[in-house]
Structure 1
Amino acid sequence: MGKDSKAKDAGAKGKGKAPAAAEDAGGKGKGKAAAKGADLGTCTYVKARHILCEKQGKINEAYKRLEEGWLSNGDKVPSAEFSKIAAEYSECPSSKKGGDLGWFPRGKMAGPFQDVAFATPVGATSAPFKSTHGYHIILSEGRKN
């Protein structure tokens, strides 16, 4: 994997850590967490919303809004609220639909984006990460085979 495949920590510059969701995807650990994480890599389709920004500073602003509203309290970001922030910050044409990408299969999205999308548990929000298209945040809304 190239340097693009490394996810970015919200405040880090250069190479960063993968978001916790991506690190936990392998099912490492004990008990329910391991069982829950074990199925993340086996689905065929993911339904997701995202925020795409060209500049790291802008994606960090969007992530800060998500943190202040929900993530810092350990809450999940409601889809409707993520949609509002995507409409405000995202530079992708999907911003007009609240960042909704709908259902997509493995192999359709570029490497780092696909890796994070398929590793993020349903209802969870990824940390900002970089791909060849810019900086992203993903909200996972569903998975199916």
Structure 2
Amino acid sequence: MGKDSKPKEAASKGKSKQAASGGDESTSKGKGKSGKSSDELGTCTYVKARHILCEKQGRINEAYKKLEEGWLSNGDKVPPAEFAKVAQEYSECPSGKKGGDLGWFPRGKMAGPFQEVAFNTPVGATTAPFKSTHGYHIILCEGRKN
């Protein structure tokens, strides 16, 4: 499930802070049907993601610190199963019970900053904490497709 989307590429390179700020990384190995790269950040139609949502900035920072200590500080990607454990522990969103799994969602479904960050995060990358209208988030992008 979800494994038949795009292959995980070297685009994420573990640089989570760039992903959260909109990032300046892009991929050029897409297999778009129209000749354009379907993997370029911000151009896909659907994203599969997990997230952690906290009302307080201090709590989201605690969750991010756990991710940093385990993987991000070494430049590693956070495995989805491990991200799910942190989401279950820290997320205040109902999706937290499912490990923060939001499944596949189309462009236009999520609110402003969340959508912008989700659609501009490379597959496999974890964002730094950021604020939206609902609170503070961390996103793990698991897939992209058109």
- Structure 2 distance, partners of 1:122, 1:84, is 19
The residue number in structure 1 matching 2:95 is: 94
The residue number in structure 1 matching 2:23 is: 23
- How many aligned positions are there? 121
1:23 deviates by: 2.3
1:41 deviates by: 1.5
The residue number in structure 1 matching 2:28 is: 35
- Structure 2 distance, partners of 1:78, 1:58, is 21
Q: Deviations over 1:37-65 (max 9, x none)?
A: 97112100000000000000000000000
The residue number in structure 1 matching 2:81 is: 80
- Structure 2 distance, partners of 1:45, 1:77, is 21
Structure 2 residue runs without a partner (length 5+): 1-15, 30-36
Letter paired with 1:95: G
Share of identical aligned residues, percent? 81
- Structure 1 distance, partners of 2:57, 2:75, is 24
Alignment map for 1:117-132 (pairs within 5 Å): 117-132=118-133
Q: Secondary structure at the match of 1:47?
A: strand
- Structure 2 distance, partners of 1:40, 1:77, is 19
Q: Secondary structure at the match of 2:137?
A: strand
Letter paired with 2:132: S
- Structure 2 distance, partners of 1:90, 1:118, is 21
The residue number in structure 2 matching 1:112 is: 113
Give TM-score scaled by structure 1 length.
0.79
1:19 deviates by: 3.6
Structure 1 residue runs without a partner (length 5+): 1-17, 28-33
Q: Deviations over 1:76-114 (max 9, x none)?
A: 000000000000000000011000000000000000000
* Contact 2:23 2:121 (8 Å CA) reproduced: no
- Structure 1 distance, partners of 2:90, 2:71, is 17
Letter paired with 2:41: L
